[in-house]
Amino acid sequence: MSTGNTVLKAEVREGTGSRSSRKARASGRTPANIYGHGEGNQALSLEAHALQLALDTPAQVFTLDIAGAEQPCLVKEVQYDTFGQVILHVDFARIDLSEQVEVEVALRPVGNAAGIADGGTLTIQHNTLMVRCRADAIPDDLEVDVTELAMGSSIHAGEIKLPAGVVLDEAKQNPGTPMITVLAPRVIEVEEEEEGETPVDGEAGTGDAPEADGDAPAEGDKKEE
């Protein structure tokens, strides 16, 4: 569960824009911004490796240590490079750990779906769910029991069991959305050629003799010398 216990040291970043961001990255730091709670936008930078390790965990809430002042915050957006490996920029939102927040939480299917034994395939239609809860009670993931899921059946957003204090954010998540489904195998029909079918003209086996080029010489005609 995300509780904001992970503390990341952040430095105030001078300037804004691409030039300031490139300067931060060149020194092994990742540019970031923090905003919200009635305060202005503040440009920051964080040690790139420490930030990468923190964001590789399920946690969504962190505490930023900015010049000795600690600020709980929620990760709002992470920008990666083209290959999705290097973090280019992070947006943080200031929060109070007791307030309600809207977050996406990963789904974790457990069990063997009944429909798989009949040849079906378990398919994750959506791997996260939008929920509302206290900032200090964000689940790391949501366990979804798929054991009873039969062929052609789905588990919908509104059917997923949530921990106490966590509710579906119906403003952003339709309760009727299929989240996990067991799909039936595809059946490919092959058309068989009917027996006794008459071949079309030009096909082998018609019995027609090939036409000779030119006229055959009439009987009795002699080749001129």
| Token duo for residue 172 | 């952003």
Do 115 and 151 touch, CB atoms closer than 8 A?
yes
pLDDT, residue 44, reads 96
6, 16, 94, 69: CA torsion to nearest 10:
60
Distance CA 173, CA 217 (A): 89
What residue ranges of the chain are covered by domains with CATH 2.40.240.10? Answer: 7-96
Residue with tokens 């002699």: 222
What residue ranges of the chain are covered by domains with CATH 2.170.120.20? Answer: 101-183
List pLDDT tens digits, range 183-203: 998 877 777 666 655 555 555
Write phi, then psi, for 187 (nearest 5 degrees): -110, 120
Across the chain, what does the average pLDDT equal? 87
Do 155 and 149 touch, CB atoms closer than 8 A?
yes
pTM assigned to the model: 0.74
One of 2.40.240.10, 2.60.120.480, 3.40.50.12710, 2.170.130.10 is the CATH number of 7-96, namely 2.40.240.10
Percent of the chain with pLDDT over 70: 82
Among candidates 107, 98, 51, 49, which has minimal Cα distance to 75? 51
Percent of the chain with pLDDT over 90: 73
User: pLDDT band for position 217 (50/70/90)?
Assistant: low
CA distances from 13 to 50, 75, 76, 104, 216 (A): 17, 18, 19, 29, 99
pLDDT, residue 186, reads 80
Do 148 and 182 touch, CB atoms closer than 8 A?
no
Do 61 and 97 touch, CB atoms closer than 8 A?
yes
pLDDT, residue 225, reads 44
Record: fold of 101-183: RNA Polymerase Alpha Subunit; Chain A, domain 2 (2.170.120)
pLDDT, residue 168, reads 98
List pLDDT tens digits, range 97-138: 999 999 999 999 999 999 999 999 999 999 999 999 999 999
